[in-house]
Amino acid sequence: MIQTVPLKPDAGPAPSAGDDRQRRMAWWHEAKFGMFVHWGIYSVLGRGEQVMLRDWMPIEEYTPLAAAFHPVPDWADQVADQAVRAGARYAILTTRHHDGYCLFDTATDTFNAVRTGPGRDLVREYVAALRQRGLRVGLYYSLPNWRRRGFWAPERYPDEQRAIVDEIHAQVRELMSNYGPIDILFHLVDAVRQGGNCVFNIGPDARGQVCRRDGAALDRVGAWLRVNGEAIYGTRPGKILTARRQSACNQYGLFTCRQTIAYLILFYPPREYVILSKVGPAIRKARMLGSGQPLTVEPLANARWKLGGLPALTAEELAPVIRIEFEAEPYSLTFDDDAWLDGAYRAMRDEDVVAHLRV
């Protein structure tokens, strides 16, 4: 017998699946920058994670790499500290790559870190190190398993298909059950420019240590984020972003937005001043985000704005950022007719243009 429990008179409607997903994804949209860690027994050879397939290595030649895989005791702490220095808000670890080797303890296969060279659960160490530093925890799990003959020739090994699927289900269940709450399970993440995230990929060596090249690049990104992180963390594409291939001011760089504030990240900074076109409404003020140096704001014909007083930049300086405050949420503008040739451009928002064309 099915019984129904009436809602209390003051109870609101139950949250929809969409509302719950939005709540769970809120931190992801705020984070914006993470670190991807590709690591496994392939690091013993130092030729990338695809080496088994790329070099056509037989199983009997590839399997012994597991015995030679010996991470240093503090590898997870080193990786987590690198993520913090880089300004990453989360990290994603390859718990199993295409070679089928598991960095975690699994009851499904002895080809894992606990039963081979490391002799311990590396995923558990990684999760603990990230949580200790307040970083969100991401796990990557690869569906292919190159060591399974049924993966390559399913018609010749039909019985293996069920075994492959069962193994995937069991291992993913282990990952999502044995390490506490997991923030990201990565099969595929389609990071598009509309509200996506950027993850910086690193490949530690066989001892689990970040190589000097990757560390230097991440440290430089981290130094930039410590100055300009306001333009990244918690921002949104905003109404400046349109479906057009060339966004507003793309000759200088890219916009991110937060309510009435837009951040113009200058990949190609001009000298002395910037001309903002195809963006509205009116600009109240502007300044360099890093130094706080105010810029002059001058309105021009055709709804353009001249931001003057840009500081001289050195060749070593990464993309500087201009913080621009508008009277309302900034949006993209487009041309309606040829009036702009006379300097009499009539401002139209993109959504207004769509309605105009339909008429």
Alpha helices in the chain (DSSP H): 17-31, 51-54, 59-62, 75-86, 122-132, 149-152, 158-177, 212-228, 350-358
The answer on pLDDT for 261 being more than 70 is yes
pLDDT digits (tens, 9 = 90+) for 71-110: 999 999 999 999 999 999 999 999 999 999 999 999 999 9
> Which of 128-142, 182-196, 265-279 is predicted least confidently?
182-196
3-state DSSP assignment of residue 227: helix
Q: How many residues does the chain have?
A: 359
pTM score of the predicted model: 0.65
What confidence score (pLDDT) does residue 204 get? Answer: 86
Listed by start position, the domains of the chain span: 27-231, 253-358
Angstrom distance (rounded) from CA 300 to CA 114? 67
Q: How many CB atoms lie within 10 A of CB 170?
A: 14
- Which amino acid belongs to residue 294? P
What confidence score (pLDDT) does residue 334 get? Answer: 73
CATH 3.40.50.720 fits 27-231, yes or no: no
What confidence score (pLDDT) does residue 237 get? Answer: 76
Percent above pLDDT 90 for the chain: 41
pLDDT digits (tens, 9 = 90+) for 189-247: 223 234 566 677 778 888 888 888 888 888 888 888 899 989 888 888 778 776 554 45
Angstrom distance (rounded) from CA 265 to CA 318? 10
Most confident residue range from 23-32, 128-137, 245-254, 307-316: 128-137
The answer on pLDDT for 50 being more than 90 is no
What confidence score (pLDDT) does residue 338 get? Answer: 61
CATH class belonging to 253-358: mainly beta
What confidence score (pLDDT) does residue 7 get? Answer: 30
Average confidence score pLDDT of the chain? 81
